Chain A
Amino acid sequence: MAYEEPITDYDHIVENCTCAFCGSNCDDLDFLVKGNHVVGVRHACRLGASKIMEDEDQRLKVPMMRDENGELQEVDWDTALDAAAELIANAVRPLFFGWSETSIECMKKGLKLTEYVGAVIDNQATICHGPTVQAVQNVGYPLMTLGEVKNRADMVVYTGSNPMNAHPRHLARYSVFPRGWFRQRGRFDRTLVTWDPKFSDTAKMSDIWVPFEENGDYGFCNAIRAVLKGKELKEDVISGIPKQDIIDLTEAMKNVEFGALFFGLGLTHTLSKQRNIDIAIQLVQDLNAYTKWVLLPMRGHFNVNGFNIYMAYEMGFPYGVDFCRGYPRYMIGETTTVDLLNRKEPDVFLVIAADPGAHFPGGANMHLANIPVIQIDIHWGPSTELADIVLPGTFIGVETPGTSYRMDSVPIHMKSAIDPPETCREDEWIVNELYERVKKIKEEAK
């Protein structure tokens, strides 16, 4: 890595800002501000810093609508909002998707609109940690806040995730490197373990790497549970791991004082899906008969967990909630976004702070190409190509304050450091404006 000169050309520093990138929600960032631009970010990792600073290139700055040739053209706010409201007000089966990169305050307005028109509201959990939530609903959820790991853990296991690349400060800030109250030597007081078929960057720095074969996660966890329960392993090699290694690892896990298991999409999206999580959770529950163990899913977006929490406290269900009958329904495979799109049910799609164009399966995107799509976002992305109306929002945690929930559900108030571009509007304002305009249309029609 090339040496970079420290940034000295700035007007002032805004301390303790929160990173609006991954689910680590690091809230210790210093933004170096010059002339209403963040010119430098201290403490953040490269992912976070680049999102915060190199923001300008693909920024959506003005409202846009497609013209008769199918080209996005700049329009004024009233025109764009009225057109969007018209689409929503006249829709039979509107679907409002995204929300994981905006604030709880904006979600509040979104839910209000959803309840009013009887739409479906859903977030990225539907395609990422949805299986995790299903597993949690099956077998339970022994969790902790990240500081518990920092202060107590002497063994940390990552599986199906590669935090060194995806949550770069996770090990440094929370789990492995920091000195904790009971772990004063930091890294030296902990055993770092990675279970992963790949020799990932996280595996490279681990004390123990368990390279089970692809789709071997279920069998491997099952074998540890069997050993824990005093069962004899019948095969010499299980999921590609020699029997003795499994026995030794089980013994080691039983004998720590505090163990933490972090898992990512590598576990939720291999062959056995939510069953992988079922068994990982049960493994942790079993281990508690011997010593302390906890687990946590590595949530991706900085507020993906926030949406699930928000929907749970407002309406009792975490995602994929359908209001078409006047009361909320949640049925995975029925009321979840990709399934709805595959069945070609939605007739209007609002996407906010998400990029289905980049992440949805082809069939789902095909339907999106056929129905009106309204996008609220701060950046151009593949979803912009699908959008018929584009409403440029503002950057939570940089330009607009707001509430988010970290991966371990710690709520954080994210402050703002600079003013939003004059031509953009806050997400919360945009969604509320849609609500007001939809309401007007509906009431006039009565």
Chain B
Amino acid sequence: MEYILKNGIVYDPTHNVAGDKKDVMIKDGKIVDNVSSDAKVLDVTDKLVMAAGVDVHAHIAGPKLCLGRLYRPEDSRAGLVAKTDITRAETGFSIPSCSATGYRYSRMGYGTVTEAAVPPLEAKHTHEEIMAIPNIDVSPLALFGNNWFVLQFVKANDLEGLAAFVAAWLKLSKCYGMKVVNPCGSEAWGWGMNVHGIDDPAPHWDVTGREVVRALTQVNEMLGLPHSMHVHPNDLGHPGNYPTTIGTLDAVKDIKKNPNVIRDQTIHCTHLQFHCYGGTSWRDAKSGAAPVADYINKNKHVTCDVGQVTFDETTTMTADAPMEYDLYKLSGLKWANKDIELETAAGLIPIIYSPKAPVNALQWAIGLELFLMINDPWQVVLTTDSPNAGPFIRYPRIMSWLMSSDRRTEMLENEVHKWATKRTDLASLDRVYDWNDIATVTRSAPAKILGLEQRGHLGVGANADVAVYDIEPENFDATKASNASVIEDVMGRAAYTIKDGEIVVKDGKIVKVVPSRHMWTNVTGFEEQEKKVLEDIMPMFNRYYTIKFENYKVFDHYIDPAIEFKIDAGK
């Protein structure tokens, strides 16, 4: 099938196309530079055209999500939509059902989403959910930061062994990259404890967060994985945590990037908003965004996503399980937890972010400060750490805040608690994002950060993942406060979403359902080392896991259809 999208206003930051009136041509699922006369013409005259969105960090599939759905039927009821001839019924607001997840991303014009936390032991579950999600390709990241084998390799300073282990475990769990969450802290949670800062060792292991992050980052570059180290630093959500954040980023500064990757960074810091708090307690908490943004502005080895608070009732869920218990102590809401043997932990709790609550207003303002203080939009990605700071369906609302300082002023003056003004610099930031910036932080930057060459842009050879929005950038003043609701509305229901050259959304409605693909990284060139490492660790595996190794892996039928990223680590 061939298409030609005619006369759209195209934003493609990767190729420095910023608002040019252009045609976009599609053939066989790819962007091409010419099509035959049979091509179907889609008249998108003067409408906003971008590559489909790419989400660098969200929680959409797997055991945590499922636990959330199981124990929050009130949330499932909050998002009921009846089935249609094309779509299945949808449930859920902060934790949508699998099909709802796919439809909703697709309606926003997104085509690729990273599932940010996969415990390898339960990776089959994550992949089962991905099979149930339509219309978006999913890049799952496996959790390594509290894995006992990792802790052992780090302790023994055996980077070769660690690299082989990571290569083997990505194959077993069929994941795309590595994720580290509260390194050593989630292991400490096995005893109901936590670690504080990056130099506090996990009890019994004598290994610190700094050592784990450094070792895994080195291994990531040794192997040349498409994505970088993806880290959720220690001390999430604690007032006074920003030095830990800068310390974590700085800990890997000297590590050289692998020459074969397309990304610029060696470390991606996720939901940075939660890691930029000053003060010493919630009484005197204030923003720590400025020093962190300053660090990022000076250091190209770092990228981040924000984890913007959206003022919703949502569900927090993270492998940072001790933090979830802290939240439980504060709110007393129903707390769930799920510790995974030898690998990680997870916690969940519902949360209500209120604009009137001082702490929530502060968090909201810090997120926006990061967007506005980090100069290079290629270093910052729009996320809500969905559903932690808010559900992903709020991305269009965040766009409206970024595009209008008048709207932000309106909110600071009338809607949010004064901590947002008094304890942050948000009120003094009048920078606004233009459509090019929006395209950067929602597609081009995340695709590059993830190392996805064929996504996030509209160059020839790219996947034909395209979004068209029903707005005329040239006849629309996005800076006007009263236009914020228009942005939110329009960006929430794409005029077209095209996935691999097929129209899946038209006029904000799902018109076609296609299976999502499971993206995974196959490291080659390390086979001998992997074999040896597996032999070495097998006695420990057999003794301390409760499942047989043969039954541990994700079999191929759980990742159908898949996209395999073959990496030659021998290079």
B93 to chain A: closest CB distance in Å?
A: 10
- Contact at B341–A148, with CB atoms within 8 Å? yes
B319 to chain A: closest CB distance in Å?
A: 14
Checking A173, A180, A292 against B192 with a beta-carbon cut-off of 8 angstroms, the contacting residue is: A292
Cα separation A334 to B445 with both chains bound (whole Å): 49
Q: Which of A125-164 contact B (CB under 8 A)?
A: 133, 136-148, 150-152
- Contact at B125–A141, with CB atoms within 8 Å? no
- Contact at B89–A141, with CB atoms within 8 Å? no
Checking A115, A151, A173, A312 against B544 with a beta-carbon cut-off of 8 angstroms, the contacting residue is: A151
Q: Which residues of A contact B342 (CB under 8 A)?
A: 147, 151
- Give the bracket for the number of chain A residues in contact with chain B: 35 or more
Is B340 in the interface zone, CB < 8 Å from A? yes
Cα separation A70 to B65 with both chains bound (whole Å): 48
Q: Which residues of A contact B96 (CB under 8 A)?
A: 316
A330 to chain B: closest CB distance in Å?
A: 6
Q: Dominant SS at the A interface?
A: mixed
Is B39 in the interface zone, CB < 8 Å from A? no
Q: Which residues of B contact A315 (CB under 8 A)?
A: 76, 89, 91, 97
Q: Which residues of B contact A18 (CB under 8 A)?
A: 551
Is B425 in the interface zone, CB < 8 Å from A? no
Segment at the A interface, from B329-337, B365-373, B432-440 = B329-337
Checking B83, B99, B189, B335 against A326 with a beta-carbon cut-off of 8 angstroms, the contacting residue is: B83
B120 to chain A: closest CB distance in Å?
A: 11
- Contact at B544–A150, with CB atoms within 8 Å? yes
By beta carbon, the residue of chain B nearest A144 is: B339
Checking B66, B76, B190 against A309 with a beta-carbon cut-off of 8 angstroms, the contacting residue is: B66
Is A224 in the interface zone, CB < 8 Å from B? no
Segment at the B interface, from A48-56, A213-221, A409-417 = A409-417
Q: Which residues of A contact B325 (CB under 8 A)?
A: 288
By beta carbon, the residue of chain B nearest A284 is: B337
- Contact at B72–A137, with CB atoms within 8 Å? yes
- Contact at B190–A413, with CB atoms within 8 Å? no
By beta carbon, the residue of chain A nearest B547 is: A27
- Contact at A146–B341, with CB atoms within 8 Å? yes
Is B204 in the interface zone, CB < 8 Å from A? yes
- Contact at B192–A291, with CB atoms within 8 Å? yes
Is A257 in the interface zone, CB < 8 Å from B? yes
B85 to chain A: closest CB distance in Å?
A: 11
Cα separation A326 to B71 with both chains bound (whole Å): 23
- Contact at B70–A309, with CB atoms within 8 Å? yes
B311-338 contact mask (Cβ, 8 Å, vs A): 1 or 0 = 0000000000000010011000111111
- Contact at A314–B98, with CB atoms within 8 Å? yes
Is A435 in the interface zone, CB < 8 Å from B? no
Is A325 in the interface zone, CB < 8 Å from B? yes
Q: Which residues of A contact B91 (CB under 8 A)?
A: 315-317, 327-328
- Contact at B546–A145, with CB atoms within 8 Å? yes
Q: Which of B407-425 contact A (CB under 8 A)?
A: none
Q: Which residues of A contact B204 (CB under 8 A)?
A: 182
Cα separation A292 to B341 with both chains bound (whole Å): 14
B345 to chain A: closest CB distance in Å?
A: 8
Checking B71, B97, B99 against A141 with a beta-carbon cut-off of 8 angstroms, the contacting residue is: B71
Is A285 in the interface zone, CB < 8 Å from B? yes
| Given A27-B551, A309-B66, also A138-B98 (CB < 8 A) | no
Q: Which of B181-237 contact A (CB under 8 A)?
A: 189-192, 204
B402 to chain A: closest CB distance in Å?
A: 31
Checking B95, B334, B338 against A139 with a beta-carbon cut-off of 8 angstroms, the contacting residue is: B334
Q: Which of A385-416 contact B (CB under 8 A)?
A: 403, 405, 409-413
- Contact at A136–B97, with CB atoms within 8 Å? no
A384 to chain B: closest CB distance in Å?
A: 32
Is A267 in the interface zone, CB < 8 Å from B? no
- Contact at B337–A317, with CB atoms within 8 Å? no
| Given A138-B334, A257-B191, also A145-B543 (CB < 8 A) | no
Is A79 in the interface zone, CB < 8 Å from B? no
Q: Which residues of B contact A308 (CB under 8 A)?
A: 70
Cα separation A216 to B90 with both chains bound (whole Å): 42
Is A174 in the interface zone, CB < 8 Å from B? yes
| Given A138-B334, A327-B81, also A180-B544 (CB < 8 A) | yes
Cα separation A285 to B99 with both chains bound (whole Å): 33
- Contact at A143–B121, with CB atoms within 8 Å? no
Q: Which residues of B contact A138 (CB under 8 A)?
A: 334
Cα separation A325 to B89 with both chains bound (whole Å): 10
Q: Name the residue among A258, A291, A292, A410 with the largest chain B CB count within 10 angstroms.
A: A410
| Given A181-B148, A326-B89, also A313-B337 (CB < 8 A) | no
Checking A133, A285, A291, A403 against B328 with a beta-carbon cut-off of 8 angstroms, the contacting residue is: A285
Is B23 in the interface zone, CB < 8 Å from A? no
Q: Which residues of B contact A137 (CB under 8 A)?
A: 70-73, 334
- Contact at A313–B65, with CB atoms within 8 Å? yes
Is A245 in the interface zone, CB < 8 Å from B? no
Cα separation A327 to B70 with both chains bound (whole Å): 17
Q: Which residues of A contact B550 (CB under 8 A)?
A: 15-16
Q: Which residues of B contact A141 (CB under 8 A)?
A: 67, 70-71, 334, 336-337
Cα separation A293 to B189 with both chains bound (whole Å): 11
By beta carbon, the residue of chain A nearest B337 is: A142
Checking B61, B76, B545, B551 against A316 with a beta-carbon cut-off of 8 angstroms, the contacting residue is: B76
Checking A150, A318, A330, A405 against B125 with a beta-carbon cut-off of 8 angstroms, the contacting residue is: A405
Checking A174, A292, A309, A413 against B191 with a beta-carbon cut-off of 8 angstroms, the contacting residue is: A292
B366 to chain A: closest CB distance in Å?
A: 28
Q: Which residues of A contact B190 (CB under 8 A)?
A: 148, 152, 258, 292
B476-503 contact mask (Cβ, 8 Å, vs A): 1 or 0 = 0000000000000000000000000000
Checking A145, A173, A182, A285 against B121 with a beta-carbon cut-off of 8 angstroms, the contacting residue is: A145
- Contact at B548–A27, with CB atoms within 8 Å? yes
Cα separation A405 to B124 with both chains bound (whole Å): 10
Cα separation A374 to B360 with both chains bound (whole Å): 54
- Contact at B81–A312, with CB atoms within 8 Å? no
- Contact at A327–B80, with CB atoms within 8 Å? yes
Checking A16, A115, A133, A294 against B337 with a beta-carbon cut-off of 8 angstroms, the contacting residue is: A294
- Contact at A150–B70, with CB atoms within 8 Å? no
- Contact at A140–B336, with CB atoms within 8 Å? yes
| Given A150-B546, A410-B547, also A294-B73 (CB < 8 A) | no
Q: Name the residue among A16, A104, A411 with the largest chain B CB count within 10 angstroms.
A: A411
A296-323 contact mask (Cβ, 8 Å, vs B): 1 or 0 = 0000000000001110111111100001
Give the 10 A-B residue pairs with the shortest CB-CB distance, closest first.
A147-B341, A316-B76, A316-B91, A292-B192, A140-B334, A411-B124, A326-B82, A144-B339, A142-B337, A141-B336
- Contacts A/B (CB < 8 Å), 19 sampled: A15-B550, A16-B548, A27-B551, A115-B89, A141-B70, A144-B337, A148-B340, A174-B546, A181-B544, A258-B190, A258-B192, A288-B325, A289-B329, A309-B66, A313-B66, A313-B98, A316-B92, A316-B95, A327-B89
Known: A314-B132, A411-B122. 12 other contacts (CB 8 A): A115-B83, A136-B70, A137-B71, A141-B336, A148-B190, A313-B65, A314-B99, A316-B95, A409-B63, A410-B122, A412-B124, A413-B124
State the B residues within 8 Å of A (CB).
61, 63, 65-67, 69-73, 75-77, 79-83, 88-92, 95-99, 121-122, 124-125, 128-129, 132, 148, 189-192, 204, 325, 328-329, 333-342, 349, 543-548, 550-551, 555, 558
State the A residues within 8 Å of B (CB).
15-16, 18, 27-28, 104, 115, 133, 136-148, 150-152, 173-174, 179-182, 257-258, 285, 288-289, 291-294, 308-310, 312-318, 323, 325-328, 330, 403, 405, 409-413
